[in-house]
Structure 1
Amino acid sequence: MKEKVLTGGELTEAEAMSLANLNTDEYDKLLESAAEITDRFGSRNFDSCSIINARSGRCPEDCKWCAQSAHHKTDIAVYQLVDRDTCMALADYNHRRGIGRFSLVTSGRTLSGKALDTVCDYYRELSERESGMGLCASMGLLDSEALRRLHEAGVKRYHCNLETAPSHFPTLCSTHTIDDKIKTIEAAREAGMEVCSGGIIGMGETMEQRVEFALTLRRIRPVSIPINVLSPIPGTPLENAAPLSSRDILQTVAIFRMIHPHAVLRFAGGRALIDPETQRKALRIGINGSIMGDLLTTIGAQIDEDIAMIRECGYNFETPGE
């Protein structure tokens, strides 16, 4: 299977599913195969991004993993759109630290009206101020017109996670579907934007369902795939979810690399729950991007610590002035 991928082929569904249940020797070979594929196809320039929780809480969707759902009782901050000065200051800080991309993320099913007008204004100003920084957006299930406006304002990449396998998603959310997400993703691409789409592991899915998830993502061909590890948040239905083992995490990363040899695999939420050695192994076998700094409703790793680990693992990460 490794040779098939290295020579430009794609794994069949049966081949991919065979990676779900491995003995120790097969598991070790999977990790080495994924590392070789990463070395062949992955850039050594680490793909970094940062996000700002630009509107928080009161979301009408009932996603079981999410602290921002109005269906759950959590202690997160609740606020409307952040002000312009806060947005610009955070973008400038991250740009000066060498972060390559910046995204506004808003809670809620979608974004429209005055709120959409405001974020488009923010993006137009960011396009002028932060030359060279890629601008991304994550604003739910937008329609074609809203996506077109964001692209015209300077957004180059739209983020919409599928979250998990189609067979598992209905057990976690009843207010929208994966098909709703795919429709938004297709509209974003038609509007001229690249697509970033991944999800969360550790929500009760099987390894076979993670393979199903990776194969579903292959249908939409995202250039960037965030891999979140569930951070159980008190007050959500998944607050008592069992933590994943290091083997679970690394096997998942390796499977995603076998199925997506050219995509950026991006560590996102939940990295604080992963020990440093497992993170380093993940960087060797497939992870070549990351969301850095604070995340949405949980704290991410510190930027300086991230940069040090990234460089230790052989990736290039330049900061202004170097």
Structure 2
Amino acid sequence: MLQKIKERILAGGEITPDEALELAQKAIRSDLYAAADEIRKKFCNKTLDTCSIINARSGHCPENCKWCAQSAHHHTQIETYDAIPIHEAISIARLNEQQGIKRLSLVTSGRRIKASEIDYFCDIYRKMGEETHLHLCASMGLLKREELEKLKAAGVKRYHCNLETASSYFSELCTTHTIEQKKETIRTAQKLGMEICSGGIIGMGENMKQRIELAFELKELGVCSVPMNILNPIPGTPLEHMPPISDEEILVTIAIFRFILPRTFIRFAGGRARLSRETQKQALSAGVNGLLMGDMLTTLGSGVNEDKSLAREAGYDPL
């Protein structure tokens, strides 16, 4: 079955949700990873897509997402501040470019940035555009058309809005906004000609069928980049005692996502720092072709030089 589905995808065909679930449950793991890597090599080049983020406004978020350290509903020990100073953001941007990272995003806490705040962040983006050659991205919540238009005019090419999990499971994790509101923001940004980065977090109590549901929702939206985050249980959040999923389950999920999204950048992101170097290298040979480098909002990420070495060992062109 695995060989038949792989050949179909390599020929331009698609996998069904039932087939994806059967592969996840029954396929020999090494064969599944190798097939996913073959699909990746067919549709994507050998250059790893790299990005980094700046935590541009931290904490005090009114939303009640169970996984998030920045929610005001939870009692965590994160640093909080309203907006990063422009000079600090530009300094971080220059450093990222010097390290060879291609993309950079400002990420702000909260349901959405206010109309009165958008001009300040647009000033940062314009300054970044003047002083670096970075591909600029933004992650600023459930924005409306007018805010997105301003970001695009300031040089932002890609908008990030994670679905986080499948529609059938989302309300178990957040009740202050809906996944449909996220999709509305994504569709609005797409209508303006912006690229879309949207993925989720695995290990929040969802099952494999729901992860596959998420992958097909992302496929339907036509996103170009899918961050694959692994839950990092934060003390003080409702998920702080969630048991970790196994390395095998992570790798299987990545491989299945590659079968469903053969041409998409699947980006290993938050939570991967807890994995061994060997498991991260396996992920790069099981469908992953992008990495979020540097710090991961409120948790420490992997070192850039270490990531570059890992990518080269996995057969990617030098970054």
Please say whether Structure 1 and Structure 2 have the same fold, judged by a TM-score greater than 0.5: yes
Query: Match for residue 20 of structure 2?
Result: 16
Question: Are the counterparts in 2 of residues 20 and 211 from structure 1 also a CA contact under 8 Å?
Answer: no
Amino acid at match of 2:121: V
CA positional deviation for 1:40: 1.0
Q: Choose which of 2, 5, 10 in structure 1 pairs with 2:6.
A: 2
* Separation of aligned partners in 1, 2:216 and 2:276: 28
Query: Match for residue 181 of structure 1?
Result: 182
Amino acid at match of 2:8: K
* Separation of aligned partners in 2, 1:271 and 1:11: 27
Q: Choose which of 25, 30, 33 in structure 2 pairs with 1:31.
A: 33
Question: Are the counterparts in 1 of residues 61 and 71 from structure 2 also a CA contact under 8 Å?
Answer: yes
Query: Match for residue 81 of structure 1?
Result: 83
Query: Match for residue 197 of structure 2?
Result: 196
Question: Are the counterparts in 2 of residues 20 and 208 from structure 1 also a CA contact under 8 Å?
Answer: no
Query: Match for residue 107 of structure 1?
Result: 109
Query: Match for residue 223 of structure 1?
Result: 224
Query: Match for residue 172 of structure 1?
Result: 173
**1:74-153 matches, cutoff 5 A:** 74-131=76-133, 133-153=134-154
Query: Match for residue 308 of structure 1?
Result: 309
* Separation of aligned partners in 2, 1:165 and 1:210: 6
CA positional deviation for 1:20: 3.2
**1:261-300 matches, cutoff 5 A:** 261-300=262-301
**Once the two structures are superposed, what CA deviation does each residue of 1:22-78 show, in whole Å capped at 9, x if it has no partner?**
2xx533322121011011112211100010000000000000000000000000001
**1:207-246 matches, cutoff 5 A:** 207-246=208-247
Q: CA-atom RMSD, angstroms?
A: 1.0
Question: Are the counterparts in 1 of residues 142 and 181 from structure 2 also a CA contact under 8 Å?
Answer: yes
Question: Are the counterparts in 1 of residues 115 and 147 from structure 2 also a CA contact under 8 Å?
Answer: no
Bigger mean CA deviation after superposition, 194-203 or 117-126: 117-126
Whether 1:69 aligns to 2:65 is no
Bigger mean CA deviation after superposition, 223-232 or 206-215: 206-215
TM-score under structure 1 length normalisation: 0.96
Question: Are the counterparts in 2 of residues 225 and 263 from structure 1 also a CA contact under 8 Å?
Answer: yes
TM-score under structure 2 length normalisation: 0.97
**Once the two structures are superposed, what CA deviation does each residue of 1:165-200 show, in whole Å capped at 9, x if it has no partner?**
111111000011110000000001111110000010
**Once the two structures are superposed, what CA deviation does each residue of 1:209-246 show, in whole Å capped at 9, x if it has no partner?**
11111111111111100000000000000000111111
* Separation of aligned partners in 2, 1:139 and 1:317: 31
* Separation of aligned partners in 1, 2:17 and 2:247: 25
* Separation of aligned partners in 2, 1:310 and 1:32: 17
Bigger mean CA deviation after superposition, 245-254 or 112-121: 112-121
* Separation of aligned partners in 1, 2:39 and 2:22: 18
**Once the two structures are superposed, what CA deviation does each residue of 1:89-121 show, in whole Å capped at 9, x if it has no partner?**
000000010000010000000012332110011
Question: Are the counterparts in 2 of residues 202 and 229 from structure 1 also a CA contact under 8 Å?
Answer: yes
Identity %: 53
Q: How many residues align?
A: 315
Which sections of structure 2, spanning at least 5 residues, go unmatched? none
CA positional deviation for 1:276: 1.1
* Separation of aligned partners in 1, 2:227 and 2:216: 15
* Separation of aligned partners in 2, 1:55 and 1:115: 11
* Separation of aligned partners in 1, 2:318 and 2:62: 39
* Separation of aligned partners in 2, 1:29 and 1:316: 24
Please give the secondary structure, in 2, of the residue aligned with 1:285: coil
Query: Match for residue 45 of structure 2?
Result: 43
* Separation of aligned partners in 1, 2:116 and 2:308: 38
Bigger mean CA deviation after superposition, 69-78 or 268-277: 268-277
CA positional deviation for 1:271: 1.0
Whether 1:57 aligns to 2:59 is yes
Query: Match for residue 249 of structure 2?
Result: 248
